[in-house]
Structure 1
Amino acid sequence: MTLVQLEYLIAVEKYGSFSEAAQNCYVTQPTLSMQIQKLEEELGIIIYRRDKHPITPTKIGEKIIAQAKQILKEKEKINILLQIEKGEFTGALRVAVIPTVSSYLLPMFLSNFIKNYPDVELIIDEVTTDEIIGGLHKGYFDIGIIALRSSNGNLITETLYYEPFVAFLPPDHKLIRKSKLNQNDLNVSDFLLLKEGHCLREQTLSVCKTDNSDWVSKGSKVVFESGNLDTLIKLVEQNFGMTLLPYLSLQYIKDRKKLKQIKEFVKPVPKREIGFVYSNTFIKKHLLDALKEEILNVIPEELKANKDGLIIR
């Protein structure tokens, strides 16, 4: 039994395909298949059923794969200990970020992180919160950056900042003359929403003091539920409705006309808590700390404390 064979085992489980696993392990499919077959012969068991697509492990195969993950994690711990001892920052860090954070946060710190940690391979995926949570449990991601919820399973969380919401109104909306909005001003039927699965959708409904079952579009012949916040912004400009925006998005709005369509809320200001989420078995803590430092270096000071805020989850 070799560590390479164990790596191949895990790759097949991850991708559900011998060919895709081989491609991602940078070997030919016959080489990967042969190594897994040798391991099966050595152990005297069948680890993978070849007659199903995607490829699935047998019951004993599932146990072997779980143990293989633990063995490789222990091996990785040795490398991490050596890195820390030498003061080195190397290796891959797989980070998953929700779309309504990635669009605005990543451009703020990414260049500095790459410059300060050139030997770290930062692999970033933009996915929904549920996909991040599932990916962390399965070991696909090292860290998630999400709007923290009341319950994140058995995962560890660390707060980064508290981000207020602002309203983006159509030019001729009845609330456009108000200097600041109150939550009671909001009518959920006025809102354009992100598709289900995006946490900003649930947060918008919470700010409007309603839920999915109560939301019914009234007075409109078209219901827009986009997966992209930039699309909603364009639709607001065409008077199709209003939407909520995260505070960090404002730095990318330069047009004075658009800025006049932005309305802040009176206290307590509705906010979301943005933070890290990761498994209790995560071992690259020095890389997480480096990432956290780079992010906090660019976050406005007023977002680092929850003063007079109403956390929306």
Structure 2
Amino acid sequence: MTLSQLDYIVAVDTYRHFATAAEACHVTQPTLSMQIQKLEDELGIKVFDRSKQPVVPTETGQSILVQARDVLRAARRIPEIVSESKEDFKGDFRVGIIPTLAPYLLPYFIGEFIGKYPAVSVHIQELVTEQVIEKLRNGLIDVGLVVTPLDEDGITEIPLFQEPFVAYAAESNPMLSKSTVSPTDLLSDGLWLLTEGHCFRTQVMNLCGADRHANGKTTLRYETGSLETLIKLIDKQDGFTLLPYLATLDMDAVRQSRLRPFDAPAPVREVSLVMHRSFLKRHLINAFKQDILANLPSELAGTVKRGAVLNVR
């Protein structure tokens, strides 16, 4: 049994396709298939059920793959320890970030981070939370920036800050007649939401009670995958939505006038770094964390107090 063989079976499990796995491992498909067959012969079991498409692990294979991932992480940790001892930050750094954070948080710190560590190649992907978790488990990204708590087995969470929600309404909406709003104000018709799969949609629905309307009407009016689209639709049409605080900081004066804060305690979302429990690149992830915290808007600095405020799930 070799580390390369373990790498091959993990790649096949990740991509569920032998040709794609071979390409990811930079070997030919016959080489990958031969080495996996050799490992299966040595173990006396089948790791994969090749009769199904896409290929899937056998029951025993699933247990072997869990152990294989742990072995590979442990092996990759050894050169990382040496690199950290030399304070030598280099290599790929793969980050997954949810779309309702990416355009609003990244500009505050990513330029400084890249400038500090020019030998690090940063790869950033916009992913919904489920994709972040899946890619962390499969070792396809090193760290995620998501809203927590997740309560996912094997996933470590490092809270960074609490971000308040604010209401955004069309100029003609009655909500703008108030200086602050409460969750009960959100039960009126006209709520605009992100599409399914976005955790921000779930948080807004939980806060607004979008599955129950006082008059028996639905509050769901339109769905989109972009906060900016929601804002533009409300500007031109009617209705309201909720926005995370960071999404409001670059608004012009007209749009700022259409924002309303919540009564205290304001609902918030907790933004965290997440990684696999046996995560690699620990020093680099810590440096990433420090640069985020050092460059946050002053209103968000030092706001991590899990459980001290209303947390929208």
Q: Which residue does the alignment assign to 1:233?
A: 231
Shift of 1:161: 1.0
**CA distance in 2: counterparts of 1:126 and 1:161, whole angstroms:** 20
Q: Does 1:58 align with 2:55?
A: no
**2:56 aligned with 1:48, yes or no?**
no
Deviation at 1:110, TM superposition (A): 1.7
Q: Deviations over 1:233-266 (max 9, x none)?
A: 111112232111111112332x322222122223
1:249 maps to amino acid: A
Deviation sequence 1:166-195 (CA, Å, 0-9, x none):
111112111223333333332252210112
Instruction: Please name the residue that 2:32 is paired with.
Output: 32
Change (3 A) 1:203 1:59: closer
Distance 1:79 1:184, change over 3 A: same
Equivalent in the alignment of 2:246? 248
Greater mean alpha carbon deviation, residues 155-164 or residues 38-47: 38-47
Aligned partner (choices 248, 272, 276) of residue 273 of structure 2: 276
The letter of the residue matching 2:8 is Y
Q: What is aligned with 2:256?
A: 259
Name the structure 1 match of 2:89: 89
Number of residues of Structure 1 aligned to a counterpart in Structure 2: 310
Amino-acid identity (%) = 40
Q: Does 1:303 align with 2:300?
A: yes
Cα distance in 1, alignment partners of residues 264 and 116 from structure 2: 39
Name the amino acid aligned to 1:53: Q
Separation of aligned partners in 2, 1:148 and 1:6: 32
* Equivalent residues in 2 for 1:146-225, closer than 5 Å: 146-149=146-149, 151-208=151-208, 210-212=209-211, 218=217, 223-225=221-223
The question of whether the paired residues in 2 share the 8 Å contact of 1:217 and 1:223 is answered with: no
Cross-structure match for 1:289: 286
* 8 Å CA contact retained: 2:136, 2:275: yes
Go from structure 1 to structure 2 and tell me whether the alpha carbon gap of 1:215 and 1:289 turns closer, same or farther (over 3 Å shift): farther
Contact 2:3 2:72 in 1 (8 A): yes
What's the CA shift for 1:116?
1.2
Q: Does the Cα contact within 8 Å between 2:210 and 2:218 map onto a contact in 1?
A: no
Query: Taking structure 1 as reference, are residues 182 and 62 closer, same or farther at Cα in structure 2, changes over 3 Å only?
Result: closer
Displaced runs of 4 or more, over 6 A = none
The change in CA–CA distance for 1:63 and 1:84 in structure 2 (over 3 A counts) is same
Aligned counterparts of 2:295 and 2:216: Cα–Cα separation in 1? 39
Provide the C-alpha distance between the structure 2 equivalents of 1:109 and 1:212, rounded to a whole number of angstroms. 37
Residues in 1 aligned to 2:113 and 2:150: alpha-carbon distance in whole angstroms: 30
**Which residue in 2 is equivalent to 1:116?**
116
Aligned to 2:7: 7
Partners of 1:213 and 1:170 lie apart in 2 by: 22
1:82-101 superposed Cα distances (whole Å, 9 cap, x missing partner): 11211112233332211111
Q: Deviations over 1:43-68 (max 9, x none)?
A: 44433233221112233333333332
In structure 1, the residue corresponding to 2:211 is in which secondary structure?
Answer: coil
Contact 1:91 1:120 survives alignment (8 Å): yes
SS of the residue aligned with 2:125?
Answer: strand
The CA deviation at 1:213 is 5.4
Code of the aligned partner of 1:294? D
Q: Which residue of 1 aligns with 2:73?
A: 73
Question: Given residue 212 of structure 1, which amino acid in structure 2 is its aligned partner?
Answer: D
Instruction: Indicate how the Cα distance of structure 1 residues 58 and 167 shifts in structure 2: closer, same or farther if over 3 A, else same.
Output: same
Give the Cα–Cα distance (whole angstroms) in 2 for the partners of residues 105 and 170 of structure 1. Answer: 25
TM-score by length of 2: 0.88
Equivalent residues in 2 for 1:98-117, closer than 5 Å: 98-117=98-117
148-157 or 99-108, larger mean C-alpha shift: 148-157
Give, in whole Å, the separation in 1 of the partners of 2:13 and 2:215: 42
Hey, what's the Cα distance between the residues in 1 that align with 2:116 and 2:254?
A: 38
Partner Cα distance (1:216, 1:66) in 2:
51
Secondary structure, aligned partner of 1:302: coil
Report the 3-state secondary structure (helix = DSSP H, G, I; strand = E; otherwise coil) of the residue aligned with 2:32.
helix
Q: 1:16 maps to what in 2?
A: 16
- CA distance, structure 2, for counterparts of residue 189 and residue 22 of structure 1: 53
